[in-house]
Amino acid sequence: MDHFGGAVSGPRPGRMRDRRGRGPRGPMALPGPLSPRSVPVHRPARASFDLLVGDVLAALEPHFAVEPDHVDVVVEEAPMLPPEWTDDVPLSIVAPGPAGARVVLFRIPIAQRCSGNEDLEDLVWTVVLDRLAEVWHMSPDDLDPRPR
């Protein structure tokens, strides 16, 4: 005998529970055969940060074509610091590269200093512009293509 008054199929109605604080689960949160096609693919934090840095560098592409010094921009998780380090953790460094300079951005220290996506985007722009200005001996304001 059916106590529910008909066939029962699919997940129970209402919001999916967020057990153990790992974010929403279920067909509306993750890609899969039950998800609608409009649900975006889940991206890890590292991939989202890489896409953000790629967008910033794409906006700065005209400067890369004009400047004579070759610059590689690389993203790493965090810097390797000695145990006796007492200063703030650096957000980025400029190191000599194989064909010029290499700008290394540290994802975790940058992300931890931000409270949201807008802050993260602004800080990435600031760090990238400051380091490229340091390499090319220019003002960061001269490099910034964003409207003021």
Q: What's the pLDDT tens digit per position in 121-144?
A: 999 999 999 999 999 998 999 988
Domain for residue 20, yes or no? no
Tell me: pLDDT of 25 over 80.
Answer: no
Domain for residue 127, yes or no? yes
CA angle 42, 47, 53 (to 5 degrees): 135
pTM equals 0.72
Domain for residue 21, yes or no? no
Residue 57 or 13, more confident: 57
**Domain tally, the chain:** 1
Domain for residue 7, yes or no? no
**Structural domain boundaries enclosing 116:** 45-80+87-143
Tell me: pLDDT of 2 over 70.
Answer: no
Domain for residue 148, yes or no? no
Q: What pLDDT is attached to residue 66?
A: 85
CATH code of the domain covering residue 61: 3.30.2010.20
Integer Cα distance of 129 and 125 in angstroms = 6
At residue 134, φ and ψ (nearest 5 deg) are -65, -40
Identify the residue whose tokens are 């010094």.
Answer: 69
Domain for residue 126, yes or no? yes
Mean pLDDT for the chain?
82
90 neighbors 104 (Cβ within 8 angstroms) = no
Domain for residue 114, yes or no? yes
Domain for residue 8, yes or no? no
